[in-house]
Structure 1
Amino acid sequence: MNPLRPLILAAAESPRLKRALTGIPITADIVRRFVAGETRAELIEVAQALLDSGRMVSVDFLGENTTDRSQADATVAEYLSLINDLAALNRSALPGIDAPPVEVSVKLSALGQALPDDGPATATENLRILCTKAAQADVWVTVDAEDHTTTDATLATVRELRGEFPWLGAVLQAYLRRTEADCRELSGPGSRIRLCKGAYREPHDVAFQRAYEVTESYLRCLDALMLGDGYPMVATHDPEPIADAEDRAAESDRGPDRFEYQMLYGVRDAEQSRLAGEGRAVRVYVPYGSQWYGYLTRRLAERPANLTFFLRALVSKS
C-alpha cells in the first residue's frame, strides 16, 4: 500500500491544512482535473461531453457529515434540481446496454444521517424523496459508502427503500473485512452494487491494510457479485480487476448489458474510452460543488500517480 496513504488521509481530516490548501490560487487548476466544477452549470457541460463520448455518468454533489437540518434540506433541493437537469441532457441509449446513462450518487451523511434527532430516519426520508423524483426522470440513484461507522445504518436504509425502488444502488468497499459477506447478501435479483476498494482511513480490525490483501478481497467480492443475480458495477482503475471482471462475466454468461465498469473523472481517461469503444458499459463518477477538499485528498491517497500529478503541478506553478 502507498506509504503516504495514512498521511494523506490524516490531512483530509485536518482543518488547518484544508484552509492552507484551499487558499492557494493554483489549487483550483489541479482540482479541475478531478472535479467538474463548483456549479451545476459546469457539471452539466462535463456530463454532456462524457455522454457524447459514449460513456455514462454518475454525478455526486460534494458534501458529507451534515449536522444542520437546513444544510440537509439544501442538499436535497440541489439533488432534485440536478436530476431535472440530467434528465434534460441528450442521453441516447448505448447499443446493447439497457442501463440509464445518467445516475446520481449521494452520501446519506449529506442528507442528514448524522443529525442529532433521529438522523438515519431523516436521511431515509430524504433519500425516498430523491428516488421518487429519479424514478420519474429515468435516472438511477446509488448510495455512496462512507467510513465503516456508517455502514450498518446506510445498508439498513438501502434495504428499506429497495422494497419501493428495487433499482436503488449501494456501494460496498472491498477493504472492509465484512464486505464479501455483504456482497453475497445484497446481490439478489434486481440489485445494483458498486464495488470499490475503499478510500477512508480505517482500523486494522475492520479493514485490510496491505494492497495485495485489498486486491484479493476485491476479487473475492467480485466473484460473489458476478455469481449473484444483480447488476455488478466494477469500480476500479487497476488492470487486474478490470481483466478479471471480463473473465468472470464470461464465466457467468453475463453480456455487456448485465454489468458495468466505473471510473473516476480525471483518472485513466484513455482506458475509459478504450472500454467504451469496445462496447463495454462505462460510467464515469463525476463530482461537483465547493466541498471538494475531502474528496480530492481521498483520490490522492488512492493512487500515487494522482499525488505525483498534484505535486508536479504545484512545482510547475510556483
Structure 2
Amino acid sequence: MFAQVVLGVAGAPRVRSLVTGSSLSRPVVRRFVAGEDVDSALGAVRALDAHGVRTTLDVLGEDVTRPEQAEETVAAYRDLVAGLAAAGLAEGNEVSVKLSALGQGLGPDGPARATERALALAAHAYAHGVDVTLDMEDHTRVDLTLEALRSLRAEFPRTGCVLQSMLHRTPGDAADLAHPGSRVRLVKGAYAEPAEVAHPAKRDVDLAYVRCLRTLLDGGAYPMVATHDLRIVRIAEELLAGRAPGAAEFQMLYGIRADELRRLAAAGHVVRTYVPFGTDWYAYFSRRLAERPANLAFFARSLVTA
C-alpha cells in the first residue's frame, strides 16, 4: 500500500515537475544515481572495484516514445561498454537494459525491434567482455521480456534476466529458468501491481522470494540475490553454505547498504552494486522512494534542512 501511494503521487505531472526542477532534490538524487554521464559511471565503478565490488550499470530511461530515442539508448550503452573496456573495467562487470528503453512499446513491431536492438547491443558488449542482463518491468511485459531473453540466450547464453517475487507467476518462471548457466537476478519488485497478479502482503513476497531462490539453486542456476532485506540475506547465506564457491552472488542498489555488501565480500561472496546513471532519473528515483519509508523520510528531511 505504501509503495502504491508513493508511486501514485510521484506519477502526477506537477510532482514530477517540482522534483526534477528543484535544485534541492539533486543532492538526494545523487545518493541513488551515480551521475549523468559515462565518466561519472566509470568513476563509481572504479570506487567500487577498489572494495572488491562488481557493478551492473544501467543507462536510465524507459518507455521511449520515438524510434530515435531507442537508437540513442543503444548508442549510449555502446559508449558505456567501450568506456569500460578502455578503462580496463570490463571483466566481471555488466550492463542492465530495459527493453522499453529499446522501443518495446513502439507499435506492433516494437517488441521485435527492441529484441533486434538488444541482440546488437549484446554482440557489442560480449565482444568487449561485458555481460548483459535484461531488466524486468511491470507485469504486462514479463512474457515479452522472457521471449526476448530466449532469443538473446540462443546467441549469448550468459545473458541474464530478472524475476520479481511479488508476482504470483514467478515461481513457475523460476522453475523454467532453473538450469545450469542461467543467470537470474531475483528481486522483490518495485512496481505498483494489482492484487490479481501480485502479492499485496510483504510476508508473502518474502516467502515467494526464498522459495524461488531455492528453486534456482537446486536447479543449478546462478542466482543474483538482489535484496536489502537483511533477513533474506542471512537465509541466502545459509542456503549457500556447503555449496561450491561462486554458486550465487549478492546485489544491492547504489547508495544502499554499502557496508553490508562489503561484509559479504569480506566473507568470500561475489557481490555487485546496481549503478544507474543518466539524465532521465525520475522514474527510477521514484521507485527507490517507494520501496522503503526510510528512503522517503531521508528525502523529506533533506529538503527541509537544505
Quick check: TM above 0.5? yes
Shift of 1:181: 0.7
1:240 corresponds to which of 225, 231, 240: 231
1:53 corresponds to which of 43, 48, 51: 51
2:75 corresponds to which of 77, 81, 104: 77
Give TM-score scaled by structure 2 length.
0.97
Q: Is the 8 A contact 2:179 2:216 kept in 1?
A: no
1:144 corresponds to which of 107, 131, 135: 135
Separation of aligned partners in 2, 1:310 and 1:278: 32
- Corresponding residue of 1:170: 161
Deviations 1:218-245 (A, max 9, x none): 1111111111122110000111111111
- Corresponding residue of 1:261: 250
- Corresponding residue of 1:96: none
Shift of 1:7: 1.4
- Corresponding residue of 2:84: 86
Most deviating of 305-314 and 25-34: 305-314
Separation of aligned partners in 2, 1:117 and 1:181: 27
Separation of aligned partners in 1, 2:112 and 2:99: 10
Separation of aligned partners in 2, 1:80 and 1:74: 10
1:290 corresponds to which of 271, 279, 297: 279
Separation of aligned partners in 2, 1:32 and 1:290: 11
1:112 corresponds to which of 92, 103, 110: 103
1:195 corresponds to which of 169, 186, 193: 186
Shift of 1:308: 1.6
Separation of aligned partners in 2, 1:191 and 1:4: 33
Q: Please list every run of 5 or more consecutive structure 1 residues that lacks an aligned counterpart in the other structure.
A: 93-99
- Corresponding residue of 1:154: 145
Give TM-score scaled by structure 1 length.
0.94
Separation of aligned partners in 1, 2:10 and 2:93: 29
Does the residue aligned with 1:163 lie in a helix, a strand or coil? helix
* Count of paired positions: 306
Shift of 1:117: 4.2
Is 1:310 the counterpart of 2:299? The answer is: yes
Q: Give the % identical residues.
A: 48
Separation of aligned partners in 2, 1:60 and 1:181: 27
Q: Please list every run of 5 or more consecutive structure 2 residues that lacks an aligned counterpart in the other structure.
A: none
Deviations 1:253-274 (A, max 9, x none): 232x121000000001111111
Separation of aligned partners in 2, 1:222 and 1:87: 32
Shift of 1:135: 1.1
Separation of aligned partners in 1, 2:89 and 2:82: 13
Separation of aligned partners in 2, 1:116 and 1:171: 24
Q: Is the 8 A contact 1:48 1:89 kept in 2?
A: no
1:279 corresponds to which of 268, 271, 275: 268
Deviations 1:154-200 (A, max 9, x none): 00000122111110000000000000110010121211000000000
Shift of 1:214: 0.7
Shift of 1:88: 2.6
